[in-house]
C-alpha cells in the first residue's frame, strides 16, 4: 500500500490553492492523500464545494462556523494569551496563537499517516502531535515568512514572539521544510540557523492559462492594467497605481478584482477623481483561484505592486506574478528584494519600478502600452517563461521528490 500523506491547514481549501496543488500532485504521484482543513467563511463555501466535486483525495473539514463553538474556542485562546503575556510561559504559546490549533490537533491525531505536512504555524503543533501519536514524521511548508507577517512595530511583538516560540520548537523535528520563494527560504535559514528550505514556487498548471499568447489583451475599455487578490485594500500599492493611471499619457484603465475592504471603495473613488482618472478604475467581482490565469489573459499588462511593508512581503513572490506569466501577460513589478532577484533570474529587470513611485510606474506603463511591438514581445516573453520554467508541471517535481524521500524513511 502506498504511503499515506496527511496535509493540515487552518484555512479552507477554497482559499488555499497551494494546499490543493500539493494534494493533487501527491495523489498523482501515487500517494494516498488526506487533507484536514476548516470551514469558517460562508463566502468561500462555493469554492470549497466546486473543489469537492472534483478532488480525487480525501478531505476532512472541521466546521468552525458555530457562533457558540467559536466562542468556546476563542475564550481559551484569549485566556492563554493573557497568561502568556503575563508569564512568558512557553507552554502557553500554541494555545495563545490560534483558536484553530486544538481542533487541528484533535483531527490530525485521528488520521493515521506516514507523513504529516503542516501549512501555517497554527497547524505545526498538530502535525507534530499526530506524528508522535502514530510513529510517523512531519514536515512544514512555509508559504510566507511567518515571523515577518506583521509590520515592524512593537504593537505586534507578542504575535512575532508566539510564532518564534512555535516554529523554534517544532522546526528542528521536521523531516523537511519547503518555502514558496527563495527569499522566504533564506529568511527561515537565517532566523533559525537551519538548513535552507527546499524552494517550491507558488506557480500554476499551464492548463489553467489560455494555452498561448496574443499581441494584446481584449478587455474593453482599454488599454488595460490588471491586478487581483482576495482583498482590495491598503498596503497593496494600489494608491500608487491609481496615481500612475492618472499620470500616464496612454490613459490606461485599471482593473482591480477582489473584495474591497470596508470603506476602501470610497477612498479609491476619491483618489481617482483627484488624479484625473475618473471612469478609468474598475472594480471586478472575486472569482475562483483556478480561473485567475484565464481571466488575466484578457488584459494588456499585470500589476505586481507589493509595497514591502512587512518582512514577509519583501521576501515573497506572489501568486499573481506567476498567474500573469501563465496568462501571457507581462508583470509590472515593484522593486522589492524578492521581485528584483526574480527580475534578474527571469530577465525582467526592465519591468521593475521603484516602490510607491507613481511617475516611474506611469512611465513603465506608457513604455508598454504605447508601443504595440514592445507589448507583443513582452507578452510572448511572459508565456515563454511560464512554458519553459515557471509552471506547476515543472515545479511539482521538487515537491514530489522531497516528499517521496521523507515518506520512504517513515514507512
Q: What are 77's three cell numbers?
A: 485562546
Q: Please indicate whether residue 270 or residue 407 has the higher confidence score (pLDDT).
A: 270
Q: Which residues of 231-256 are buried (b: 16+ CB within 10 A; e: fewer)?
A: ebbeebbbbbbbbbbbbbebebbbbb
Of the candidates 104, 126, 153, 301, the residue with the CA atom closest to the CA atom of residue 216: 301
Q: Where are the beta strands (DSSP E) in 12-149?
A: 32-39, 58-63, 115-119, 137-142
Q: How many CB atoms lie within 10 A of CB 198?
A: 16
State mean pLDDT over 223-251: 96
Per DSSP, the three-state class of 351 is helix
Q: How many CB atoms lie within 10 A of CB 147?
A: 22
Determine the Cα–Cα distance for residues 196 and 176; give it in Å rounded to an integer: 10
Answer for the pair 150, 310: CB distance below 8 angstroms, yes or no: yes
Does residue 279 come out as left (phi exceeding 0), alpha (psi in the -120 to 50 range) or beta? left
At residue 35 the predicted structure's pLDDT band, cuts being 50, 70 and 90, is very high
The continuous run of DSSP H or E covering 237 comes out as none
Q: Please indicate whether residue 154 or residue 241 has the higher confidence score (pLDDT).
A: 241
Tell me the chain's radius of gyration from C-alpha atoms.
22
CA dihedral 51, 52, 57, 62 (to 10 degrees): 110
Q: Please indicate whether residue 76 or residue 21 has the higher confidence score (pLDDT).
A: 21
The continuous run of DSSP H or E covering 138 comes out as strand 137-142
Answer for the pair 252, 276: CB distance below 8 angstroms, yes or no: no
Answer for the pair 86, 111: CB distance below 8 angstroms, yes or no: no
At residue 215 the predicted structure's pLDDT band, cuts being 50, 70 and 90, is very high
State mean pLDDT over 157-172: 93
For residue 66, the model assigns a pLDDT of 65
What residue ranges define each of the domains in the chain, with the CATH number in brackets? 4-203+392-410 (3.40.50.2000), 206-388 (3.40.50.2000)
Question: CA–CA distance from 56 to each of 23, 26, 51, 249 (Å)?
Answer: 9, 11, 10, 50
Task: Of 152-156, 202-206, 320-324, give the lowest mean pLDDT range.
Answer: 152-156
Per DSSP, the three-state class of 160 is helix
Q: What are 370's three cell numbers?
A: 504605447
Q: What is the pLDDT of residues 55-88, one digit of tens each?
A: 999 999 998 876 555 555 677 777 667 766 667 7
Q: What are 51's three cell numbers?
A: 473543489
Q: What are 304's three cell numbers?
A: 505586481
Q: What are 388's three cell numbers?
A: 519553459
For residue 77, the model assigns a pLDDT of 72
Q: What is the pLDDT of residues 308-347, one digit of tens each?
A: 999 999 999 999 999 999 999 999 999 999 999 999 999 9
Q: What is the pLDDT of residues 92-129, one digit of tens each?
A: 677 777 888 999 999 999 999 999 999 999 999 999 99
Q: What is the pLDDT of residues 271-320, one digit of tens each?
A: 999 999 999 999 999 998 889 999 999 999 999 999 999 999 999 999 99
Amino acid at each position: 500500500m502506498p504511503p499515506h500523506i496527511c496535509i493540515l491547514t487552518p484555512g479552507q481549501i477554497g482559499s488555499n490553492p497551494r494546499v490543493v496543488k500539493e494534494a493533487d500532485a501527491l495523489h498523482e504521484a501515487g500517494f494516498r492523500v488526506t487533507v484536514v482543513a476548516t470551514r469558517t467563511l460562508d463566502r468561500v463555501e462555493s469554492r470549497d464545494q466546486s473543489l469537492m466535486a472534483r478532488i480525487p483525495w480525501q478531505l476532512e473539514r472541521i466546521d468552525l462556523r458555530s457562533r457558540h463553538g467559536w466562542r468556546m474556542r476563542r475564550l481559551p485562546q484569549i485566556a492563554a494569551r493573557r497568561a502568556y503575556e503575563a508569564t512568558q510561559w512557553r507552554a502557553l504559546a500554541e494555545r495563545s496563537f490560534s483558536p484553530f490549533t486544538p481542533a487541528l490537533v484533535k483531527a490530525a491525531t485521528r488520521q493515521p499517516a506516514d507523513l504529516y505536512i503542516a501549512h501555517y504555524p497554527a497547524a505545526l503543533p498538530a502535525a507534530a502531535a499526530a506524528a508522535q501519536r502514530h510513529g510517523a514524521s512531519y514536515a512544514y511548508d512555509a508559504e510566507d515568512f511567518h515571523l515577518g507577517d506583521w509590520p515592524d512595530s512593537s504593537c505586534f511583538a507578542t504575535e512575532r514572539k508566539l510564532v518564534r516560540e512555535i516554529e523554534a520548537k517544532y522546526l528542528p523535528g521536521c523531516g523537511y521544510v519547503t518555502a514558496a520563494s527563495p527569499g522566504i527560504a533564506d529568511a527561515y535559514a537565517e532566523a533559525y540557523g537551519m538548513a535552507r528550505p527546499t524552494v517550491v514556487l507558488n506557480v500554476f498548471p499551464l492548463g489553467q492559462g489560455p494555452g498561448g499568447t496574443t499581441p494584446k489583451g481584449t478587455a474593453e475599455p482599454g488599454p488595460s492594467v490588471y491586478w487581483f487578490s482576495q482583498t482590495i485594500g491598503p498596503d497593496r500599492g494600489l494608491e500608487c497605481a491609481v496615481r500612475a493611471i492618472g499620470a500616464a499619457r496612454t490613459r490606461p484603465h485599471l482593473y482591480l478584482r477582489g473584495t474591497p475592504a470596508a470603506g476602501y471603495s470610497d477612498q479609491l473613488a476619491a483618489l481617482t477623481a483627484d488624479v484625473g482618472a475618473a471612469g478609468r478604475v474598475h472594480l471586478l467581482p472575486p472569482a475562483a483561484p483556478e480561473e485567475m490565469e484565464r481571466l488575466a489573459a484578457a488584459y494588456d499588462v499585470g500589476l505586481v505592486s507589493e509595497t514591502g511593508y512587512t518582512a514577509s512581503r519583501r521576501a515573497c513572490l506572489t501568486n499573481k506574478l506567476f498567474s500573469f506569466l501563465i496568462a501571457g501577460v507581462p508583470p509590472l513589478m515593484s522593486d522589492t528584494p524578492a521581485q528584483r532577484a526574480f527580475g534578474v533570474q527571469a530577465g525582467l529587470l526592465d519591468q521593475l519600478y521603484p516602490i510607491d513611485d507613481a511617475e516611474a510606474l506611469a512611465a513603465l506603463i506608457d513604455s508598454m502600452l504605447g508601443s504595440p511591438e514592445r507589448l507583443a514581445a513582452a507578452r510572448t516573453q511572459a508565456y515563454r517563461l511560464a512554458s519553459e520554467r515557471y509552471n506547476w508541471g515543472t515545479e511539482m517535481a521538487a515537491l514530489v521528490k522531497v516528499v517521496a524521500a521523507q515518506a520512504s524513511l517513515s514507512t
